[in-house]
């Protein structure tokens, strides 16, 4: 069972089209893009709750930590390449 909203866990994402459009546009224009969806989906599949509670779908502390860690990992690579 998925611990996050169906928007993250479903293979039929409500914003899948815009997600694809943004990723495609970034790729076509050589713009870096950090795709957080795979990390969030993996955590949800592992049974981790990523929302505040069942009635509040805002990201909880764990979800924010996953996002922050991924951004740091991605931007850390950029920073390392400059040195």
> How many degrees, rounded to 5, is the angle at CA 52 between CA 50 and CA 55?
110
pLDDT band at 54 (very low <50, low <70, confident <90, very high): confident
Hunting for tokens 């390449």 — which residue is that?
81
The pLDDT score that the predictor gives to residue 41 is 83
Question: Within 10 A of 50 (CB to CB), how many other CB atoms are there?
Answer: 25
Considering only 10-19, 56-65, 70-79, which range has the smallest mean pLDDT? 10-19
Q: Looking at 1-83, list the stretches that DSSP marks H as alpha helix, in order from N- to C-terminal side.
A: 6-9, 16-28, 37-45, 61-82
The two tokens of residue 77 are: 């690579």
Average pLDDT, the chain: 79
Give the pLDDT mean for 67-77. Answer: 86
**Separation between Cα atoms, residue 18 and residue 28, nearest integer Å:** 15
CA atoms of 54 and 67, how far apart (whole Å): 20
């Amino acid at each position: 069972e998925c611990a996050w909203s169906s928007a993250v866990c479903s293979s039929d994402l409500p914003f899948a089209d815009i997600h694809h459009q943004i990723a495609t546009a970034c790729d076509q224009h050589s713009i870096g893009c950090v795709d957080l969806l795979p990390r969030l989906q993996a955590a949800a599949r592992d049974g981790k709750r990523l929302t505040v509670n069942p009635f509040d779908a805002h990201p909880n502390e764990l979800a924010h930590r996953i996002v922050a860690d991924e951004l740091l990992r991605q931007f850390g690579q950029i920073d390392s390449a400059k040195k």
